[in-house]
Copies of this chain bind each other. A is one copy, B any other.
Amino acid sequence: MQRPVAEIFSQGDEVVTGEIMDTNSAWLSRELTDLGFDITRHTAVGDRLEALVDLLREISGRADLCMCTGGLGPTCDDLTAEAVSLAFGLPLELDADALAQVESYFTRLGRTMPEVNKKQALFPRGSERLDNLWGTAPGFALQGGGCRFVFMPGVPSEMKAMFRRWIEPDLRCRFRLSPARLVVLNTVGLGESSLQERLNQVVLPSEVKLGFRAAGPENQVKLLFPATFPETELDDIVKRAADAIGDAVFAIGGSEEPDSDLASVVGRELAARRSTISIVETVSGGKLASRCAGQPWFHGAVVIPDSAGLHRYFGMAPWDDLVRASTRIVLDSREQGADYALAQIAHYDGDQLHDEAGTVEVHFILSALDGVWRQTRLIAGDIERKRSTATALSFDLLRRYLQKKPGLHAL
A→B interface (CB under 8 Å):
8, 10, 13-23, 25-31, 33, 39-48, 51, 55, 73-77, 108-110, 114-117, 133-136, 155, 157, 161, 191-194, 196-197, 210-214, 255, 279, 285-296, 298-305, 309, 312-313, 336-337, 350, 353-354, 356-357, 359, 378, 380-385, 387
Docked Cα-Cα span, A212 to B380, in Å, equals 38
Whether the Cβ atoms of A197 and B114 lie closer than 8 Å is yes
Which of A77, A155, A192 has the most chain B CB within a 10 Å cutoff?
A192
Whether the Cβ atoms of B41 and A357 lie closer than 8 Å is no
Docked Cα-Cα span, A196 to B118, in Å, equals 13
Whether the Cβ atoms of B40 and A17 lie closer than 8 Å is no
A17-B39, A25-B44, A289-B290 given. 7 additional CB < 8 A pairs?
A17-B29, A19-B213, A74-B196, A109-B359, A116-B197, A135-B385, A286-B293
Which of A42, A74, A133 has the most chain B CB within a 10 Å cutoff?
A42
Which of A23, A45, A47, A303 has the most chain B CB within a 10 Å cutoff?
A303
Counting from the closest, the 4 A-B pairs by CB-CB distance are: A285-B293, A18-B29, A286-B289, A286-B290
Residues of chain B lying within 8 A (CB to CB) of residue A110: 378
Docked Cα-Cα span, A196 to B73, in Å, equals 11
Residues of chain B lying within 8 A (CB to CB) of residue A115: 197
Residues of chain B lying within 8 A (CB to CB) of residue A291: 286
Please pick, from B108, B116, B293, the residue contacting A380 in the complex, using a CB distance under 8 A. Answer: B108
Whether the Cβ atoms of A77 and B211 lie closer than 8 Å is yes
Whether the Cβ atoms of B40 and A41 lie closer than 8 Å is no
Residues of chain B lying within 8 A (CB to CB) of residue A304: 300
- In the assembled complex, the CB of A376 is this many whole angstroms from the nearest CB of chain B, namely 12
- In the assembled complex, the CB of A359 is this many whole angstroms from the nearest CB of chain B, namely 6
- In the assembled complex, the CB of A227 is this many whole angstroms from the nearest CB of chain B, namely 16
Whether the Cβ atoms of B43 and A18 lie closer than 8 Å is no
Please pick, from B42, B114, B353, the residue contacting A294 in the complex, using a CB distance under 8 A. Answer: B353
Whether the Cβ atoms of B18 and A28 lie closer than 8 Å is yes
Whether the Cβ atoms of B30 and A41 lie closer than 8 Å is no
Docked Cα-Cα span, A194 to B290, in Å, equals 30
Residues of chain B lying within 8 A (CB to CB) of residue A192: 73-75
- In the assembled complex, the CB of A397 is this many whole angstroms from the nearest CB of chain B, namely 19
Whether the Cβ atoms of A25 and B19 lie closer than 8 Å is no
Whether the Cβ atoms of A46 and B40 lie closer than 8 Å is yes
- In the assembled complex, the CB of A241 is this many whole angstroms from the nearest CB of chain B, namely 14
Docked Cα-Cα span, A265 to B359, in Å, equals 29
Whether the Cβ atoms of B76 and A196 lie closer than 8 Å is yes
Docked Cα-Cα span, A4 to B302, in Å, equals 51
Residues of chain B lying within 8 A (CB to CB) of residue A357: 108
Whether the Cβ atoms of B43 and A194 lie closer than 8 Å is no
Please pick, from B194, B289, B387, the residue contacting A285 in the complex, using a CB distance under 8 A. Answer: B289
Whether the Cβ atoms of B42 and A44 lie closer than 8 Å is yes
Docked Cα-Cα span, A300 to B312, in Å, equals 9
Whether the Cβ atoms of A356 and B134 lie closer than 8 Å is yes
